[in-house]
């Protein structure tokens, strides 16, 4: 029987990014890709990301967090999901700071500058082509050669690429709503240049302090918000010297404040996290899961 059968969950969202949080810290069991897909089924609790808290592996951390996309694949980072996890923990324990471990490393998190805000230290971005990863060498990842549409009149072209613990490509445009991201997203996510696929963002730099964006998420599709994409976009814009290191990001689901800290290169993401409801998983969801 699946460890998730009858197990408690919390349905939350991070500015519209649909998140389910499951606390398995008292269990030895993990979650398989099949179980993650079963949770995401229409009869389950549909989500963009499933945040699974497992027992801590390192002293001083609250949990080892596994992050699943709704196609069952795993991600190293999920900024919006982390704010949801942090809100839930802080409300239960009264803590105002915590450290978690994810596949991408340690994440420090704390109460933001207002009671409804949470800050996640998303770590340092990586720009090397092998780190993102890309399938071939690009010395300068501020812009790479990649385009959609006719060679002499591309519709989208020359994205910046960044790893925030997960792969991101950012296409710079004048109007983020002028493109059919549902059509181009899957093509670009699965382009052979990205051996581990990629999150695809359209971004418009409004001014040096403000960027608007939309993201097609690897393994989850079109979302109302992607926190790691907001970090990657802010960093890529600053790297191109087109924006300041502290910027406000407007996503379809709301706003995030991003600071790319000079002193240690870390990216801090601040925003809200909303609780929707809690419940227990119907065991029938996992009946056909091995
Ligand atoms: N929504 C997340 C990112 C989710 C992970 C992504 N789909 C991936 O597989 O890399 C966020 O808020 O960062």
254 labeled part of a ligand binding site:
no
Copy the structure tokens of residue 16. Answer: 């519209």
Percent of the chain with pLDDT over 70: 100
78 classed as catalytic:
yes
Q: How far is CA 230 from the centre of its chain?
A: 9
Does this complex have an ipTM over 0.95? yes
**Do residues 100 and 88 make contact, with C-beta atoms less than 8 angstroms apart?**
no
Residue 203's region, left for phi above 0, alpha for psi from -120 to 50, else beta, is beta
pTM: 0.97
267-283 pLDDT, tens digit each: 999 999 999 999 999 99
pLDDT-derived band at 289 (thresholds 50, 70, 90) equals confident
Could you confirm whether 226 is annotated as catalytic? yes
Gyration radius of the chain over CA positions: 18
pLDDT (0 to 100) of residue 288: 84
Q: Using an 8 Å Cβ cutoff, are 289 and 282 in contact?
A: no
Residue 11 vs residue 28, higher pLDDT: 11
Compute the distance from residue 67 Cα to the ligand 1 centre, in Å: 8
* Nearest alpha-carbon partner for 24 in 73, 75, 66: 66
Give the pLDDT confidence of 24-79 residue by residue, as tens digits.
999 998 999 999 999 999 999 999 999 999 999 999 999 999 999 999 999 999 99
pLDDT at 20 over 70: yes
48 CA distance to ligand 1 middle (Å): 8
Going from the N-terminus, what domains does the chain have, and what CATH number goes with each?
7-121+274-286 (3.10.310.10), 129-265 (3.10.310.10)
Judge whether 69 is annotated as a binding position. Answer: yes
Q: Provide the pairing of β-strand 17-23 with 8-14.
A: antiparallel
Specify the ligand 1 atom closest to the Cα of 218: 7
Enter the tokens of residue 230: 């907001």
In this prediction, residue 185 carries a pLDDT of 98
């Amino acid at each position: 029987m699946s460890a998730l059968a009858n197990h408690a969950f919390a349905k939350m969202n991070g500015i519209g990014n649909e998140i389910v949080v499951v606390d398995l810290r008292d269990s030895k069991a993990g979650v398989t890709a099949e179980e993650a897909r079963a949770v995401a089924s229409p009869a389950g609790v549909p989500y963009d990301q499933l945040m699974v808290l497992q027992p801590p592996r390192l002293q001083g951390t609250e949990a080892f967090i596994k992050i699943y996309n709704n196609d069952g694949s795993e991600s190293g980072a999920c900024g919006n999901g982390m704010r949801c996890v942090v809100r839930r923990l802080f409300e239960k324990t009264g803590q105002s700071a915590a450290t978690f471990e994810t596949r991408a490393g340690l994440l420090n998190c704390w109460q933001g500058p207002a009671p409804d805000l949470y800050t996640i230290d998303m770590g340092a971005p990586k720009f090397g082509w092998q780190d993102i990863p890309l399938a071939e060498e690009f010395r300068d990842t501020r812009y790479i050669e990649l385009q959609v549409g006719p060679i002499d009149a591309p519709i989208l072209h020359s994205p910046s690429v960044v790893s925030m613990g997960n792969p991101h490509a950012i296409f710079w445009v004048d109007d983020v709503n002028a493109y059919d991201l549902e059509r181009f997203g899957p093509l670009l996510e699965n382009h052979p240049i990205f051996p581990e696929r990629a999150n695809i963002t359209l971004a418009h730099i409004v001014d040096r302090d403000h960027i608007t964006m939309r993201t097609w998420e690897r393994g989850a599709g079109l979302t109302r918000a992607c926190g790691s994409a907001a970090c990657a976009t802010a960093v890529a814009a600053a790297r191109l010297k087109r924006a300041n290191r502290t910027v406000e990001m407007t996503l379809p689901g709301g706003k995030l404040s991003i600071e790319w800290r000079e002193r240690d290169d870390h990216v801090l993401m601040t925003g809200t996290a909303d609780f929707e409801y809690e419940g227990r998983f119907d065991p029938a969801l996992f009946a056909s899961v091995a």
